[in-house]
Amino acid sequence: MVNRASKNKVIIWGSNGCGPCLKVKQMCQQWNFDYEWNNIDDPEVKEKFMQKYPAILAVPIIEWNKQVIQGYEKFAEEIENTINNYGDNV
């Protein structure tokens, strides 16, 4: 059985020096989610991030299921809710 949640690509904005960012990346690998890693340590990527999210000063930022999720804990909670069919976006 294919998990419906795993069909939606996860876009992660993070930094290699950010523990929670790397946890989000590991969680995507654990759940076999298709994901895109945007490393804001790269100046060009950081500029794109700042243009897209000018009011956000911290990472990780996760785009998933047509939502913008800030932080590892909130992403973990959203996965739990979605995988267990509690989320609205299944």
Using one digit for the tens of pLDDT, what is the confidence trace for 18-64? 999 999 999 999 999 999 999 999 999 999 999 999 999 999 999 99
Is residue 15 domain-resident?
no
Tell me which residue range forms the domain holding 48: 32-56
Question: CB atoms < 10 A from the CB of 89, how many?
Answer: 13
Is residue 70 domain-resident?
no
* Residue 63, phi-psi category: left (phi > 0), alpha (psi -120 to 50), beta (remainder): beta
Q: What is the model's pTM? A: 0.84
Using one digit for the tens of pLDDT, what is the confidence trace for 8-18? 799 999 999 99
Number of domains in the chain: 1
Distance CA 19, CA 83 (A): 24
Residue 2 has pLDDT above 80, yes or no: no
Query: What was the pLDDT predicted at 4?
Result: 47
Least confident window among 47-51, 65-69, 85-89: 85-89
Is residue 20 domain-resident?
no
Is residue 37 domain-resident?
yes
Pairing outcome for strands 10-14 and 61-64? antiparallel
